[in-house]
Amino acid sequence: MGRKRRLWLFAAAFLIAGCETDDLPGEPAFFPGVAVADEPWAAMAAAEMLGRGGSAADAAVALYFVLAVTYPSAASLGGGGVCLVSDGNERAVYSLNFPAPRPAASGAATRLTAVPANVRGMAALHARYGAIDWRIVLAPAERIARLGKRLTRASARSIESGGAALLSDGETRRVFAPTGALPREGAHLIQKDLADTIAALRLKGADDMYLGDLADRMVAATRLAGGSLAHEDLRNFLPDWAPVRGLEFGNDLAYFAPPPAGAGLLAGQMWVMLTDRDRYGKADEDETLHLLVEASRRAWAGRERWLADDGTTVDLASLMSTDTARAALANYDPDRVSSVGTGPAPPSPTGGLQSTGFVVIDILGDAVACTVTSYRPFGTGIMAPGTGVLLAPAPGPEDRNSLSLGPMIVFNPRVAKFKFAAVGGPGPAAAAAMMTVAAESVIKTGRLDTALHRTRMLIGEGNTVRIEASATSPQQESLTRRGHVLETVRSLGQVNAVFCPAGYPSEESQMLCWAETDPRGFGLVSIPY
C-alpha cells in the first residue's frame, strides 16, 4: 500500500449487501473501495476517508475510532486487537498484533485492568500505511463524541446489553444514563470527556496517551477508578508487526492471524481440513454441515496441545500443515460422528468475550481486516473519570483473552490480487462462523450473499452441537442421523466480509465483488460517492 498512491481506476460490478443479487453481475459501477462494520456511523466514517483518496489503513483507523464512540461494548480505547493487512506493493500480508496486556504491577488497585492498546495499534497501522493526515482521520470520531449522533440500532442494542453494569458505576452512569435510563435508538448521546481525549490524540498524536499529558491523566484516572496502570505500562507497550505465512489454495494463499489471536489458528486448521483434496468442495449438501462440525471439533480438540499459558504456539507451520490436517481427519466418516478424544469444548456462546470486526478495501485492492475487544462486554464496566475511556479487565483465562480474535484474508501475491477478507465474532463462535462463510463462498459456491445466511454451528460437550434455531428440518435431520445431539440457540456469531471471486483488481469483464455485513446484526456496508 504505502504512502505513495498509484493512480489506477477500475470498473466494477459491485453488489452491496441488501441489494438484489439474482441478476448477476449487476449494474456496472465504479469501485472506489468499501468498508464493512457492525456499526453504521463507523462504516460511513471509513467511506469518507476512502472518498478523500485515503488508503484502506486511513479508513480502518477512522472506522475504529468512531467505533470507540459508538460501539464501546467491544471497541473501547482501553482494549486491544489484531489486524491483517494485504500489501499490494510488497505482495505480502502482515499481521499487526496489539492485544491489551496485563499491567506490570497492580500496586494498590482493587481490580486488575489492562494496558490500553488500541490507540497505539491504530497509530502503527496509520504510520506504516496511511496516506491522509492523522488529524483528519480522527476528526469524525471527535465530532460524533462531542456533538452526538442519533444512536443507530447497533449502538443502542450494544448499550442495552450493558444494562445494569453501566448503571452501577457513577462515571458510566453519568455518561450513558444522565437521565437515569439508558438511551434508546434514535437518541443523541454526547460524550464530552471522550471527545476531549480523542482531540488530544488527534492534535498531539497517539504517543500523548503513552508518553505525554494524556498518559498522566490516564494513569491518575485509572487509579482513581480502582484500576491498575503505571506510566511504565504505557511507555513499554508496543504493537508487533510480522509477516504472515499463507496457506496454498489453488493460485491463491489464505492468511490467518497468528496467536495470540487464537481464532486465527482454529480457523486456519479448519481451512486446511476443508480444502485438502477439495474435501468441502466435493461434499454434497447433506454432508457439508457434518463436515464443518467434525473439522471444528478436531481443531478444538487439538487446542490443549498447542495453547501455552501466554497464548503462543510452538510451530505454526506444522499445526496448519496438510499432514496435521490429514492426521486429524484420519478417522473421519462422512456418515457418522467420529471420536476425536477429550479436548476442551468451547464455552457457552451466550457469554464471555465481546469483540467486533471490520473489513476495509481501497481502490487499489489493498485490504485491512481487524478484530478488537475489551475482553468482556464494556470491559470492566468502569470508566476512568474525566477521560471517557472504559477500562478493560486484565487478560486471563476463559473470557479475558485474545483467543476468539482472528481475521482472515485470501490474496494472490503473485499478481497482487485481493480475493476475500472476513472477520468473525464475538466470543467462541467467531472462528466457526467465519469459516462457515469462507467455506461456503470461497470454496464452494462463489457467492457471499447466500453464504452469510448459511446455518452456523458451534460444538459443545461430547457429541453436542449448538445449532441456530433457523436451521431447516432437513439440516437438523442430516446431523441427528449421523449421531450429533442438537441444542438450538438463537444465533451464532457475526461475520463481516468482502469477496471478489475473480480477484481485485481484474479486467472489467471479470469484475464482481460482494461486500456483506451479517444479517444477524445491524451493521452497514458503505462506499464513498
**Spatial separation of the C-alpha atoms in residues 108 and 472, rounded to whole Å:** 55
**One domain for residues 227 and 285:** no
Rounded to whole angstroms, the Cα distance separating 88 from 368 reads 12
d(CA 482, CA 99): 40
For residues 47 and 53, give the distance between their C-alpha atoms in angstroms, rounded to a whole number.
10
Distance between CA atoms of 71 and 79, rounded to whole angstroms? 12
- Longest Cα pair distance anywhere in the chain, in angstroms? 65
> What is the reported pLDDT for 179?
87
Which residues 6+ apart lie within 8 Å of 376 measured at CB? 352, 353, 354, 392, 393, 399, 400
Residue 19: inside a domain: no
- Residue for cell digits 480444502? 275
Q: What is the pLDDT of residue 109?
A: 66
State pLDDT tens for residues 274-304: 999 999 999 999 999 999 999 999 998 877 6
* Bond before 25 cis per omega within 30 degrees: yes
What is the distance between the alpha carbons of residues 273 and 268, in angstroms, rounded to a whole number?
A: 9
- Which pLDDT score, from 0 to 100, does residue 350 have? 55
The 3 state secondary structure assigned to 55-96 is CHHHHHHHHHHHHHHHCHHHHCCCCEEEEEEEECCCCEEEEE
Q: Following CA atoms 356, 36, 86, 324 in sequence, which dihedral angle do they give, to the nearest 10 degrees?
A: 50
pLDDT for 396 equals 80
| pTM listed for this prediction | 0.92
Do 226 and 304 belong together in one domain?
no
CA–centroid distance for 143 within its chain: 24
DSSP string of 413-463, one letter each residue: TTTTEEEEEEEEESGGGHHHHHHHHHIIIIIIIS-HHHHHTS--EEE-STT
Q: Looking at residue 152, what is its pLDDT?
A: 97
For residues 117 and 164, membership in a common domain is answered with: yes
Q: Is the dihedral of CA 10, 16, 19, 23 positive or negative?
A: positive
pLDDT at 106: 62
Q: How far apart are CA 266 and CA 406, in angstroms?
A: 9
Specify the pLDDT at position 48. Answer: 97
Q: Is the dihedral of CA 211, 215, 216, 219 positive or negative?
A: negative
Task: Say if residues 427 and 377 touch (Cβ distance below 8 Å).
Answer: no
C-alpha dihedral over 20, 366, 65, 139, to 10 degrees?
-100
Q: Among 383, 402, 421, which residue terminates a domain?
A: 402
Give the start-end residues of each E strand in 136-235.
none
Residue 420 · residue 359 · CB < 8 Å: no
Instruction: Specify if 236 maps to a domain.
Output: yes
Cell of 34: 468499501
Tell me how far apart the terminal alpha carbons of the chain are, to the nearest angstrom. Answer: 22
Phi-psi region of 33 (alpha: psi -120 to 50; beta: other; left: phi over 0): left
pLDDT tens per residue across span 8-39: 323 333 333 333 333 333 333 347 899 999 99
Dihedral, CA of residue 14, residue 15, residue 16 and residue 19, to nearest 10: 150
Q: Are residues 341 and 379 in the same domain?
A: no
Say yes or no: 327 and 393 in one domain: no
Helix/strand/coil for 358: strand
308 with 393, same domain: the answer is no
CA angle (213, 60, 350) in 5-degree steps? 95
Give me the helices (H) in 465-505, please.
Answer: 473-480
Instruction: Please name which of 371, 422, 524, 521 lies closest in space to residue 42, comparing C-alpha atoms.
Output: 524
For residue 331, give the DSSP letter.
Answer: T
Beta strands in 226-354 (DSSP E): 240-243, 247-249, 252-256
Contact status, residue 124 vs residue 95, Cβ threshold 8 Å: no
465: in domain:
yes
Residue 84 lies in a domain: yes
Asked if residue 301 and residue 363 are part of one domain, the reply reads no
Total domains present in the chain: 2
Q: 407 lies in a domain?
A: no
Residues 185 and 82 in one domain: yes
CATH of residue 502: 1.10.246.130
Same domain, 433 and 505: yes
The low-confidence residues of the chain, meaning pLDDT below 50, are: 1-30, 309-311
Q: Is residue 33 part of a domain?
A: no
Same domain? For 438 and 304 the reply is yes
* pLDDT value at residue 472: 95
* CA neighbor of 111 nearest in space, from 269, 223, 221: 223
Residue 225 in any domain: the answer is yes
Same-domain status, 119 and 230: yes
Q: Are 258 and 267 in contact (CB under 8 A)?
A: no
| pLDDT reported for residue 45 | 98
d(CA 461, CA 468): 17
Cα–Cα distances in Å, from 456 out to 84, 222, 289, 475? 24, 40, 8, 11
- Residue 281 neighbours by CB under 8 Å, 6+ apart: 275, 443, 444
Asked whether residue 499 is domain-assigned, the answer is yes
Give the structural domain span for 94.
Answer: 39-242+351-402
List of E strands, 206-259: 240-243, 247-249, 252-256
Are 259 and 328 in a shared domain?
yes
What the block records as the C-alpha cell of 397 is: 483465562
